[in-house]
Structure 1
Amino acid sequence: MVNRNYKDTIFRMLFSDRKNLLSLYNAINGTSYENPEELEIVTLENAIYMGMKNDLAFIIGTNLFLYEHQSTYTPNMPLRDLFYISAEYQKLVNKKSLYSSTLQKIPAPNFIVFYNGIEKTDERWENCLSEAYENLSGEPKLELKVVTLNINEGRNRELLEQCQTLREYAVYVAKVRKYAQYMELEAAVKKAVDECIQNGILKDFLQNKRAEVIAVSIFEYDKEEEERKLREAEFEAGELCGIQKGIQLRDREIAQSLMKKGMTVAEIADILEISENDVIKMRE
């Protein structure tokens, strides 16, 4: 059974492996680190937001990286990452005095989201915390920038070529989506897993964790579909609300114009096909 409150994503399962994570880091930064032990994993296992943990956090050199995976677009990642990075820094300086005369050094943060949803097709984009500020005047006093990379098959080709695990993950996701269009979800996931194993795509990973991968993939895809339907419903509700407000504004303008011409409340109500009380409210 899949834990509906929290379950590792396939992305997190793959890149919790230091070797895979180092390969991903090298591919993004154009570096050639070879020793996975140079990565200091600092992922906060108890940092939960909206039922989901932050995916991966690690330090290499003097930099701190927060990697997140998203299958649905959200412009709120900067705010979420602000919560995460605050918790990370609190943990890192926990035993140090912030009242001392010595400046406490902290690793410089980097925020990257790996996106494989279907709503956006851009290869790369950036979201800033300051976009959420109301009535911002001048330069923001606190800023946080999150870079999102589209890792769907066919996007960011150079990045996917540089990281074999990421490329094969993109292939696996594409297969699940393809088969889920005309098969029951569980059957689609199983077919994608079996086909990838046969073709040597994530072979060892899928063979060793087959049952868990199937369960998690069903959860991920189902969650993605639920969120997509929710957004569609929100859009339709907003669209309907906008239409209704437009009609109300139109009726008000017509009613006020007819009032100036001396027409009675009853006559206006009859023309607009609304109640006399509504006409009176428009007059007021």
Structure 2
Amino acid sequence: MKKQRFMILLKKEADTRQVKRLERNDVEIVDNVKKDQEGIMKRTIKDSVFTDLFQDKKYLLQLYKALHPEDTDVTENDLNDITIKNVLTDNIYNDLGFTVGDKLMILVEAQSSVWTVNIIVRALMYLVQTWHDYFERTKQNLYKSKKVQMPIPEVYVIFTGERKTRPSEISLSQEFFGGKECAVDVKVKMIYDGKEGDIINQYVA
């Protein structure tokens, strides 16, 4: 009888310990989920801030001058927003695109989440769509004999996450085809910090 009671007590203690372990695990899981959600929310907010910030031409001009400090003559009137808008949920859209007169077409992506070289493929898709829109907007016909006019494209990624290596440039051919020459290549200039005091540095900080 005593042995039976002793076994019952042991079982109760074991059950109690198991319940406590499960409760601790549940708390840890909830905490981890909260941290992940907070991280995602912070990244989403930061990306949204980037997109909203450069809708203002005052800041867009500052961004351009941070990218091209040698161009001192450009004004707000020279800049035109050509960002691909997310009208339909299944359409592609980018963070920022703008032209500088008729000489440059600049696409800028802000990436604050886990690093992925797939950004190069997305950049290519954004570039093709932006060119398509540009030709329609300027009423240029790709099927006529006259050569179309197009601005020089530049693609940038402002990365605010953590990376062990920080290449200044990444390319489609290098990352996906082992550096072999291919029919299409895209080179993306990487920005991590900006220069002290400029708009990129302020955004990253």
TM-score by length of 1: 0.49
| 1:127-173 residue CA offsets vs partner (Å, 9 max, x unmatched) | 1111354577x52221110011102xxxx4xx232x2x3333333xx
Answer whether contact 1:114 1:150 (CA < 8 A) is retained. yes
Shift, 1:50, TM fit: 8.7
Of the three residues 58, 62, 76, the one matched with 1:23 is: 62
Matches within 5 A, 1:135-146: 138-146=180-188
Identity of aligned residues (%): 29
Whole-angstrom distance in 1 between the partners of 2:148 and 2:92: 31
Aligned-pair CA distance for 1:99: 1.8
2:77 aligns with 37
CA distance in 1, matches of 2:88, 2:109: 13
- CA 1:35/1:74 → structure 2, altered by over 3 Å: closer, same or farther? same
Q: Report the equivalent of 1:127.
A: 170
Do the aligned residues in 1 keep the contact of 2:66 with 2:200 (CA within 8 Å)? Answer: no
Structure with the greater relative contact order (CA < 8 A, sep ≥ 6): 1 or 2? 2
Q: Return the structure number with greater helix share.
A: 1
User: Which residue identity is paired with 1:160?
Assistant: E
Q: 1:160 to 1:48 in 2, by over 3 A?
A: farther
**Cα RMSD over matched residues?**
2.9
C-alpha separation between the residues in 2 aligned to 1:18 and 1:133?
A: 36
Conserved in 2, the CA contact under 8 Å of 1:22 and 1:33? no
Partner of 1:98: 142
Correspondences of 1:1-284 after superposition (within 5 Å): 9-30=48-69, 31-33=71-73, 35-46=75-86, 53-61=93-101, 62-72=103-113, 73-94=115-136, 95-120=139-164, 122=166, 124-134=167-177, 138-151=180-193, 156=194, 159-161=195-197, 163=198, 165-171=199-205
TM-score (norm 2): 0.66
- Alignment partner of 1:101: what SS? coil
Give the C-alpha shift of residue 56 in structure 1: 0.7
Distance change in 2, residues 1:113/1:13 (3 Å): same
| Cα distance change of structure 1 residues 147 and 32 upon mapping to structure 2, 3 Å threshold | same
Deviation, 1:63, is 0.8
Structure 2 CA distance for partners of 1:120 and 1:33, relative to 1, 3 Å: farther
The answer to whether the Cα contact below 8 Å between 1:121 and 1:150 also exists between their aligned partners in 2 is: no
Distance 1:84 1:47, change over 3 A: farther
1:13/1:52 Cα in 2 relative to 1: closer, same or farther (>3 Å)?
A: farther
Q: Give the superposition deviation at 1:35.
A: 2.3
Unpaired runs of 5+ residues, structure 2, are 1-40
Partner secondary structure for residue 64 of structure 1: strand
Deviation at 1:52, TM superposition (A): 7.8
Structure 1 runs not aligned, ≥5 long: 172-284
